[in-house]
Amino acid sequence: MIGRVNHIAIAVPDLAAAAGRYRDLLGARVSAPQSLPEHGVRVVFVEADNTKVELLEPLGAHSPITGFLDKNPGGGMHHICFEVPDIAMAARQLVEAGARVLGDGKPKIGAHGLPVLFVHPKDFDGTLIELEEVKPDFSPA
Protein backbone atom coordinates (compact mmCIF):
# COMPACT_ATOMS: atom_id res chain seq x y z
CA MET A 1 0.00 0.00 0.00
CA ILE A 2 2.60 2.60 1.05
CA GLY A 3 5.30 4.04 -1.12
CA ARG A 4 8.21 6.18 -0.08
CA VAL A 5 8.43 8.36 3.00
CA ASN A 6 7.28 11.80 1.89
CA HIS A 7 8.25 13.63 5.06
CA ILE A 8 8.73 13.45 8.79
CA ALA A 9 6.95 16.20 10.71
CA ILE A 10 8.30 17.93 13.78
CA ALA A 11 6.05 20.15 15.89
CA VAL A 12 7.89 23.27 17.05
CA PRO A 13 6.91 26.14 19.35
CA ASP A 14 8.60 28.78 17.12
CA LEU A 15 8.64 28.08 13.39
CA ALA A 16 10.98 30.94 12.44
CA ALA A 17 13.57 29.93 15.05
CA ALA A 18 13.40 26.25 14.10
CA ALA A 19 13.66 26.99 10.37
CA GLY A 20 16.65 29.23 11.08
CA ARG A 21 18.45 26.45 12.94
CA TYR A 22 17.99 24.00 10.07
CA ARG A 23 19.06 26.63 7.53
CA ASP A 24 21.92 28.27 9.43
CA LEU A 25 23.36 25.39 11.48
CA LEU A 26 22.77 22.50 9.08
CA GLY A 27 22.94 24.39 5.78
CA ALA A 28 19.56 23.01 4.71
CA ARG A 29 17.27 24.35 2.03
CA VAL A 30 14.14 25.64 3.79
CA SER A 31 10.91 26.58 2.02
CA ALA A 32 8.94 29.73 2.67
CA PRO A 33 6.37 29.47 5.49
CA GLN A 34 2.91 28.35 4.46
CA SER A 35 -0.28 28.73 6.52
CA LEU A 36 -2.78 25.86 6.32
CA PRO A 37 -5.88 27.11 8.15
CA GLU A 38 -7.87 23.95 7.34
CA HIS A 39 -5.22 21.95 9.24
CA GLY A 40 -4.59 24.57 11.94
CA VAL A 41 -0.86 24.79 11.28
CA ARG A 42 1.84 26.90 9.70
CA VAL A 43 4.62 24.90 8.03
CA VAL A 44 7.99 25.03 6.32
CA PHE A 45 9.74 22.16 4.58
CA VAL A 46 13.39 21.36 5.11
CA GLU A 47 14.45 19.76 1.85
CA ALA A 48 16.95 16.90 1.82
CA ASP A 49 18.02 14.85 -1.17
CA ASN A 50 15.98 11.80 -0.17
CA THR A 51 12.98 13.26 1.73
CA LYS A 52 11.69 16.32 3.54
CA VAL A 53 11.27 17.36 7.16
CA GLU A 54 8.14 19.37 7.84
CA LEU A 55 8.37 21.85 10.69
CA LEU A 56 4.95 22.85 11.97
CA GLU A 57 3.66 25.29 14.55
CA PRO A 58 0.10 25.90 15.72
CA LEU A 59 -1.99 28.33 13.74
CA GLY A 60 -4.43 29.65 16.31
CA ALA A 61 -5.52 28.42 19.72
CA HIS A 62 -7.55 25.50 18.36
CA SER A 63 -4.73 23.91 16.38
CA PRO A 64 -4.59 20.11 16.60
CA ILE A 65 -0.91 20.34 17.59
CA THR A 66 -1.47 22.65 20.55
CA GLY A 67 -2.06 19.67 22.85
CA PHE A 68 1.07 17.98 21.53
CA LEU A 69 3.16 21.05 22.32
CA ASP A 70 1.52 21.36 25.76
CA LYS A 71 2.88 17.87 26.51
CA ASN A 72 6.17 18.51 24.67
CA PRO A 73 6.94 22.24 25.13
CA GLY A 74 10.26 22.01 23.31
CA GLY A 75 8.65 20.29 20.33
CA GLY A 76 9.23 16.83 18.90
CA MET A 77 8.39 14.36 16.18
CA HIS A 78 4.69 14.66 15.39
CA HIS A 79 4.04 12.30 12.46
CA ILE A 80 5.47 10.44 9.52
CA CYS A 81 3.96 10.78 6.05
CA PHE A 82 3.92 7.97 3.51
CA GLU A 83 2.90 8.27 -0.11
CA VAL A 84 0.07 6.12 -1.46
CA PRO A 85 -1.14 5.89 -5.07
CA ASP A 86 -4.86 5.85 -4.17
CA ILE A 87 -5.87 7.48 -0.88
CA ALA A 88 -9.51 6.36 -1.06
CA MET A 89 -8.47 2.73 -1.46
CA ALA A 90 -5.87 3.09 1.32
CA ALA A 91 -8.51 4.54 3.68
CA ARG A 92 -10.95 1.78 2.82
CA GLN A 93 -8.36 -0.95 3.45
CA LEU A 94 -7.33 0.60 6.75
CA VAL A 95 -10.89 0.92 8.03
CA GLU A 96 -11.71 -2.64 6.92
CA ALA A 97 -8.68 -3.83 8.89
CA GLY A 98 -9.85 -1.96 12.00
CA ALA A 99 -7.65 1.15 11.88
CA ARG A 100 -9.14 4.54 12.69
CA VAL A 101 -8.91 7.32 10.14
CA LEU A 102 -9.05 10.64 11.98
CA GLY A 103 -11.55 13.43 11.39
CA ASP A 104 -14.51 12.66 9.17
CA GLY A 105 -12.48 10.01 7.32
CA LYS A 106 -12.36 12.04 4.14
CA PRO A 107 -9.08 13.33 2.71
CA LYS A 108 -8.26 17.03 2.92
CA ILE A 109 -5.83 18.93 0.74
CA GLY A 110 -2.40 19.12 2.38
CA ALA A 111 0.60 21.43 2.09
CA HIS A 112 1.64 19.96 -1.27
CA GLY A 113 -1.82 20.53 -2.76
CA LEU A 114 -2.54 16.78 -2.65
CA PRO A 115 -5.12 14.74 -0.71
CA VAL A 116 -4.02 13.63 2.77
CA LEU A 117 -5.51 11.84 5.74
CA PHE A 118 -4.28 10.80 9.17
CA VAL A 119 -4.50 7.46 10.94
CA HIS A 120 -4.82 7.24 14.73
CA PRO A 121 -1.46 6.83 16.50
CA LYS A 122 -2.84 4.10 18.76
CA ASP A 123 -3.23 1.93 15.67
CA PHE A 124 0.47 2.35 14.77
CA ASP A 125 2.47 1.90 17.95
CA GLY A 126 2.05 5.48 19.14
CA THR A 127 2.98 7.11 15.83
CA LEU A 128 0.58 9.37 13.97
CA ILE A 129 0.60 8.32 10.31
CA GLU A 130 -0.22 10.68 7.46
CA LEU A 131 -0.98 9.30 4.02
CA GLU A 132 -0.59 11.53 0.97
CA GLU A 133 -1.88 10.57 -2.45
CA VAL A 134 0.89 10.81 -5.01
CA LYS A 135 0.26 9.39 -8.44
CA PRO A 136 3.21 7.48 -9.85
CA ASP A 137 4.99 9.18 -12.72
CA PHE A 138 4.69 7.24 -15.92
CA SER A 139 7.39 7.88 -18.46
CA PRO A 140 6.83 6.82 -22.05
CA ALA A 141 8.69 3.68 -23.05
Q: Which residues are catalytic?
A: 130
Q: Where are the alpha helices (DSSP H) in the chain?
A: 15-26, 66-71, 87-96
Q: Is-contact 82 3, C-beta < 8 A?
A: yes
| Cβ contact 138:64 at 8 Å | no
- Burial category of 59 from C-beta neighbours within 10 Å (exposed 0-12, middle 13-18, buried 19 and up): buried
